Amino acid sequence: MNEILDNVVDRVFKKALEFNVDDASVIAAYGRENMARFSNNSITVVNTLDEMAVFLYMIKEGRRVVGITYSVKSDELDKFVERLFSSMQFVEKSLEATSLPKGAFKYSGENDYDKRIEELSEGVVDYCESAINAALSEGAKRVSGTISANTEFYKIKTTGGVEEYDRVSYISANVRAFSETNSSGHGLSCATYLSKFHPDEAGKTAGNFARESKKTGYWSEGEYDLILGPTVAADIFQMVGSSASAFRVDSGVSFFKDCLGKKVAVETLTVEDYGTVEGGFGGRKFDDEGVPTQKNVIIEKGVLKTYLHNTSTARKYNTVSTGNAGIITPHPWNIVVGEGDMSVEEMIRECKRAVYVTNNWYTRYQNYMSGEYSTIPRDATFLIENGSIKYAINGTRISDSVPRQLSSIKAIGKDRRWVKWWEIEVPVYTPAILIEKSRITKAQF
Amino acid sequence: MHKEKFDLEIPFYVVKEIEAKGAEYVEARLHSREEVGCILKNGEQEPALISSSYGLGVRAIFNGALVFSATNIVDRENAKKIAEEMMRKARSASGLTKNRIKFSRERRVKKKWSALEREKLLDKGFEEMLRVLKEMDKIILEEKEYIPMRFLELEISLEKKFFTNSQGTYVEGYVPRLYVGGFLTGLKNGRSVQKSVEFGGSGGWELISNLRIFDGLKCQVGVIKELLEKAKKVEPGLYDIITGPEVTGIMVHESIGHPFEADRILGREGAQAGESYLKAGDMGRKIGSSEANISDDPTIPGSYGFYLYDDEGIAARKRKLVVNGVVNELLHNRATAREFKTKSNGSARANKFDREPIIRMANTYVEPGDYTFEEMVKDVKRGIFVNSFMEWNIDDIRWNQRYVGHETYLIENGEIKYPLMNPVIEVTTERLWTSLDARGKELQFWAATCGKGDPMQGVPVWAGGPHLRFRKLEVKTR
């Protein structure tokens, strides 16, 4: 694979230099995804996505342009660079343009890689069966989901003297089980090694939640303590990670504006971003500018410690890149939430009046700066009264603000897991959390 | 680079190769998309963008098992490899494919179609794109005291597809599109108000004037200023609600368009975008008042969701989803059409070469009625006019939904009074559409990118309708 990446990167890099650009960064990425989807206990499609893309960033006299192409034959690559370069003359010179960082850098991070995931091919189908059967054995009637095995290879070359490779593999099971009454449960398994991948456990969790949420009862709109399972907590921490991007702060799409060094959460909360971390699969050892990725402590003991930067945003903030480029938008790679000391069962026992949410979707903001948003719990959602689960409840909606919730975390769980599925784009390693007094609303019917 | 001319040898070759391996059905799609984008953040230009994707997507059915494969290495050697792997994977999936997939019988077609592009988009380039963004920026800067943060983007995209299948259909299509988006942050008097704005359509550079981008933006700037200066808190309670076309559009897209996608009804999106409140036997079910007349039409010239043939080679046509409050027609591809014992109505779309075609909305809207806006308002004693929104969501069977107003006004005794801050409508689908008692005369659309599928696919759509009046909906505060 490295030879193919070398050829593509060298061709584009050489061509870019022929135009005497001040700086250039070329990344070639090859990705392969083997995916099987199922619903109603039956496979619906088997997908094989096999593709290579080339990314080129060029700067000349303050003019900046970014290109991506999937046309990777030699003559097409040449035309791609020519087209990109000829477009540069129409781009304005930017005061924010900065030279690419110069190496030599030390890349200490390593992503996980399992050759067996790369070679899995139709093996994903067997995992579907395992997930479906596990859910059915818990009493589910219908099971839907996805098994997805991914392998990615990267090479970067920059005028900053960087030339580096990376690769990562991961596999995930996203399982949803339905009972005969259409109560439902959700289960996940995300792993970077096949030995740590447990689609049967994802199926079992989904089936178990579907069964346990069959008994439903009345609830009224109002304030409740919230126990958010890892999948739901991941949604909040995904928002924390993306809101730490300096670009988003400047664009008004963040609740962290003017918060550096200030308390933004309870003291027990620590949130970190890692380019490479054991079990993580959202990052690389280098960012889009060739800067080594690193561990960034976003929130330490409740205090916002840093924004996430590329070199342009870092210069504006009079600091250095945090290794999170995105040429335009710095972004988190893998979010890791510090562990607490409570189990979900202990959280339940702690609560007088609470709602336990195991999954959610459709998070939307009214105002990103204030962090006011709502999201919809889906699958098993339980009413808790006096320290125990009373019954499942339907038709709930969480309406709150992220800053308020971060400052109202009462307990953090001790069992962390990796979460990445349809609703969560950045892999998040998080436990469950307990939040005091969130508003739960219901629809007029 | 945009593929001016596709090399058609490979799709024909791969279809034959897979058919020879025993597939009941094979299709191949060459699919290119060229995108050029400009961004202004707080008046500063970010790096300009050129993105060019091109590749081959192949779908086949072997013994009822559906397989999809995609690659951007489009040559014979790779096509042969794909054919073999697809057959192997289909065999492997066959045992667990309990619901055998079959397609509806459809007419073979040989067509070439394109959207009308009067002023070629690629003739413009960054300089002209930047000029438009700067003009927009200038409009916002006129109220910089109120709107200190702003983000603007302009993107042109050229999408070209060639489709062929083992039943002898081949269709070549081309759609140029233009999209302008913005995100405005208003800050004043200790208040903060935000609004995302979107304009989009198919066609050429003439869309800049056709979509009335500058006028639209100017209105939004004025609204933010007014909200920051004058908006009052809403008193919770029951109100008659008049929606503007933007709110009409999101309501109809979320609570009618999505649940009418037949694949969701059959459970195919169960673990991702969810299912539907409709069941397979719900044709003829009453879900709204007789005023609820709702359609989806991909063939509207200039629309963002425009196409004339779908990605299964089926001719597009208008779909009357709800007629007089009754479920009339669903959105179908060939697989769901077969399940429902009907014909496909051409709803299958893929947003890129590496995505399978799935059922999508195109341009979904409430049919216009015969009221003027003034007539609607006149007949309201206590109401709220909700002209636009920010926050919204809906549950995964599309029943329990919420819309939080952005530009909203109190109506008292038939008169528009003052703006309100963030009134919240949270209502079930049936309650919403049975409360509808009047439709305006003027049809308007807004552009959006609709997400569905796994892997995720965002496709361009329009959503809209006229002003609507709903009686006695509950309104809450945030």
Residue type, A212: E
Residue B230's SS3 state is helix
| Contact between residue A319 and residue A193 where contact means Cβ atoms under 8 Å apart | no
Please check the confidence at residue B2 and state whether its pLDDT lies above 70: no
* Residues A353 and A303 placed together within one structural domain of the fold: yes
Residue A99, Cβ neighbours under 10 Å: how many? 13
The pLDDT of A66-90, averaged and rounded, is 93
Rounded distance between C-alpha atoms, residue A261 and residue B293, angstroms: 55
Q: What pLDDT band is residue A94 in, cutting at 50, 70 and 90?
A: confident
Interface check A57 vs B, CB under 8 A: yes
| Contact between residue A138 and residue A176 where contact means Cβ atoms under 8 Å apart | no
Please check the confidence at residue A259 and state whether its pLDDT lies above 60: yes
**Identity of the residue in B46, B267, B474 whose CB atom sits nearest the CB atom of A328:** B46
Look up tokens 């790369």; give the residue: A118
Residue B12 CB contacts under 8 Å (≥ 6 apart), including other chains: B28, B164
* Residues A259 and A376 placed together within one structural domain of the fold: yes
Instruction: Give, in order, the Cα–Cα distances in Å from A324 to each of A258, A302, B339.
Output: 20, 22, 48
Tell me the DSSP string of A16-46.
HHHTT-SEEEEEEEEEEEEEEEEETTEEEEE
Rounded distance between C-alpha atoms, residue B172 and residue B309, angstroms: 9
The pLDDT of B412-431, averaged and rounded, is 98
> Which residues on adjacent β-strands are paired with residue B185?
B149, B194
Interface check A319 vs B, CB under 8 A: no
Q: In this structure, what DSSP letter does residue A339 have?
A: P
**Identity of the residue in A90, A442, A444 whose CB atom sits nearest the CB atom of B431:** A444
* Residues A207 and A220 placed together within one structural domain of the fold: no
**Identity of the residue in A40, A45, A79 whose CB atom sits nearest the CB atom of B267:** A40
Tell which of A196, A211, A226 closes a domain: A211
Enclosing domain of residue A346: 215-441
Look up tokens 């027609």; give the residue: B329
**Identity of the residue in B48, B125, B427 whose CB atom sits nearest the CB atom of A444:** B427
Contact A45 B53 (CB under 8 A): no
Look up tokens 């000829």; give the residue: A86
Residue A445's SS3 state is coil
> Which residues on adjacent β-strands are paired with residue B35?
B51, B157
Element (H, E) at A200: helix A199-212
Interface check B426 vs A, CB under 8 A: yes
Residue B458, Cβ neighbours under 10 Å: how many? 14
* Residues A62 and A110 placed together within one structural domain of the fold: yes
Number of domains in chain A: 2
> Which residues on adjacent β-strands are paired with residue B457?
B452
> Which residues on adjacent β-strands are paired with residue B294?
B322, B366
Q: Which of A260, A280, A268, A266 is CA-nearest to residue A322? A: A260
* Residues A402 and A293 placed together within one structural domain of the fold: yes
Rounded distance between C-alpha atoms, residue A420 and residue A430, angstroms: 11
Lowest mean pLDDT among A71-75, B256-260, B268-272: A71-75
Interface test with chain B among A40, A42, A59, by most B beta carbons within 10 Å: A42
Contact B50 A372 (CB under 8 A): no
Question: What pLDDT, in 10s, does the model give residues A356-404?
Answer: 999 999 999 999 999 999 999 999 999 999 999 999 999 999 999 999 9
User: In terms of CATH, what superfamily is B9-230?
Assistant: PmbA/TldD superfamily (3.30.2290.10)
| Contact between residue B253 and residue B364 where contact means Cβ atoms under 8 Å apart | yes
A132 contact residues in B (CB cutoff 8 A): 96
Interface check B63 vs A, CB under 8 A: no
Residue window 109-148, chain B: list those with CB within 8 Å of chain A: 125-127, 130
Q: Which of B425, B376, B90, B342 is CA-nearest to residue B242? A: B376
* Residues A356 and A236 placed together within one structural domain of the fold: yes
Residue A223, Cβ neighbours under 10 Å: how many? 12
Look up tokens 């079992």; give the residue: A204
Residue window 239-258, chain A: list those with CB within 8 Å of chain B: 247, 250-253
ipTM, 2 decimals?
A: 0.96
* Residues A182 and A58 placed together within one structural domain of the fold: yes
Instruction: Give, in order, the Cα–Cα distances in Å from A32 to each of A51, A135, A170, B351.
Output: 7, 28, 11, 18
pTM here is: 0.97
- Domain boundaries defined on chain B: 9-230, 233-476
Please check the confidence at residue B95 and state whether its pLDDT lies above 90: yes
Look up tokens 């709220």; give the residue: B384
Longest CA–CA span in chain B (Å) reads: 73
* Residues A416 and A343 placed together within one structural domain of the fold: yes
Contact A376 B267 (CB under 8 A): no
* Residues A182 and A312 placed together within one structural domain of the fold: no
Tell which of A168, A186, A211 closes a domain: A211
Instruction: Give, in order, the Cα–Cα distances in Å from A436 to each of A346, A391, B69.
Output: 15, 20, 48
Contact B149 A57 (CB under 8 A): no
To the nearest whole Å, the CA of B378 is away from the closest chain A CA by 25
Question: What pLDDT, in 10s, does the model give residues B151-180?
Answer: 999 999 999 999 999 999 999 999 999 999
Exposed, middle or buried, A6 (CB in 10 Å: 0-12/13-18/19+)? Answer: middle
Q: What pLDDT band is residue A109 in, cutting at 50, 70 and 90?
A: confident
Please check the confidence at residue B4 and state whether its pLDDT lies above 70: no
Residue B193 is predicted with a pLDDT of 97
* Residues A199 and A246 placed together within one structural domain of the fold: no
* Residues A168 and A281 placed together within one structural domain of the fold: no
Tell me the DSSP string of B339-384.
HTTS---S-EE-SSTTS--EE---EEEEPP-SB-HHHHHHT-SEEE
Residue B121's SS3 state is helix
Contact A68 B456 (CB under 8 A): no
* Residues A322 and A241 placed together within one structural domain of the fold: yes
Rounded distance between C-alpha atoms, residue B211 and residue A365, angstroms: 26
Q: What pLDDT band is residue A96 in, cutting at 50, 70 and 90?
A: confident
Residue A262, Cβ neighbours under 10 Å: how many? 10
